[in-house]
């Protein structure tokens, strides 16, 4: 975004022209001294945080923190004055023209943590299912042994009893794991939904997909239209 800053010739107010867009006037009539040129300097920014200040004419006086400059990188922490009478540029005027921005880079870590936790919970579910399938196989084997060796054969009773005990243990462990797993899933989803939001408007971005999809497919928040800093 490029802003051309100067003095309005008719009203002697601060004039800021947006490249390819509107022109805005700020301050009271006659508030800008004549030492400020009608096109005094330019501020350019890509992210609304870091700016490049360029003095447009050699006879113009543009200062940053008391030092005269021709071209300098600045932020809203710097004091910019124009002209020999040191007219101070109000950063609030600049920011009022800036489109809203949202730095989504911290969301990368939030997504990676959520993805890692989700995959871990899926692995635990698979491991428990494998244990249950193993129990079913042992029960089938016990039934086959019972048929081959005879139901009254003591040798056939032992594996059947072991399978029953293992099945009971797996059932208890599984019941606890399922209950605990559901709570962990709920907590993981809740934390993700709370943190994976647009930094500008605070609305959820889970419908935008993974962080990679968010960066690839979206240049701005689909809700508030704040431009993403990637």
Sorted by where each begins, the domain ranges of the chain are 2-98, 103-229
Q: Return the biggest CA–CA distance within the chain.
A: 113
Integer CA distances (angstroms), 227 to 81, 119, 172, 190, in order? 29, 31, 52, 26
pLDDT of res. 224: 86
pLDDT of res. 143: 58
d(CA 57, CA 157): 101
For the chain, the C-alpha Rg in angstroms (whole number) is 34
Q: Which residue has the tokens 């040798």?
A: 155
Task: Quote the pTM value.
Answer: 0.54
pLDDT of res. 125: 74
Class of domain 2-98: mainly beta
Q: Which of 98, 91, 99, 100 is nearest to 14 (CA)?
A: 91
Query: At how many degrees (to 10) do helices 107-149 and 154-195 cross?
Result: 170
SS3 14: strand
Q: Which residue has the tokens 């249950």?
A: 132
SS3 215: helix
CB 25 within 8 A of CB 15: yes
Q: Return per-residue pLDDT of the chain as tens, 230 residues.
A: 899 999 999 999 999 999 887 899 999 999 999 999 999 999 998 777 789 999 999 999 999 999 999 999 999 999 999 999 999 999 999 988 887 888 999 999 999 999 999 998 888 777 776 666 666 665 565 555 555 555 555 555 666 666 666 766 766 666 666 667 778 888 999 999 999 999 989 999 999 999 999 999 999 999 888 888 88
What is the residue-wise DSSP string for 99-140?
A: PPEEE-TTHHHHHHHHHHHHHHHHHHHHHHHHHHHHHHHHHH
pLDDT of res. 225: 84
pLDDT of res. 188: 92
CB 119 within 8 A of CB 222: no
């Amino acid at each position: 975004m490029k802003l051309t800053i100067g003095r309005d010739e008719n009203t002697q107010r601060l004039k800021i022209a947006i490249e390819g867009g509107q022109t805005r006037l700020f301050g009271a009539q006659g508030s800008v001294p004549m030492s400020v040129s009608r096109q005094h300097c330019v501020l350019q920014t890509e992210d609304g945080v870091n700016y490049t200040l360029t003095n447009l004419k050699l006879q113009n006086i543009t200062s940053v923190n008391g030092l005269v400059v021709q071209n300098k990188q600045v932020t809203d922490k710097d004091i910019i004055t124009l002209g020999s009478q040191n007219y101070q540029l109000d950063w609030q005027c600049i920011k009022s023209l800036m489109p809203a921005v949202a730095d989504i880079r911290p969301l990368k870590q939030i997504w990676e943590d959520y993805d890692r936790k989700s995959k871990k919970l899926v692995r635990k579910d698979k491991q428990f299912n494998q244990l249950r399938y193993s129990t079913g196989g042992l029960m089938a084997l016990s039934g086959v042994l019972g048929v081959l060796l005879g139901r009254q054969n003591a040798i056939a009773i032992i594996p059947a009893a072991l399978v029953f005990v293992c099945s009971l243990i797996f059932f208890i462990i599984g019941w606890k794991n399922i209950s605990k797993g559901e709570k962990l899933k709920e907590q993981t989803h809740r934390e993700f939904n709370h943190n994976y939001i647009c930094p500008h408007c605070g609305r959820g971005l889970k419908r935008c997909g993974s962080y990679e999809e968010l960066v690839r497919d979206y240049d701005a928040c689909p809700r508030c239209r704040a431009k993403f800093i990637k």
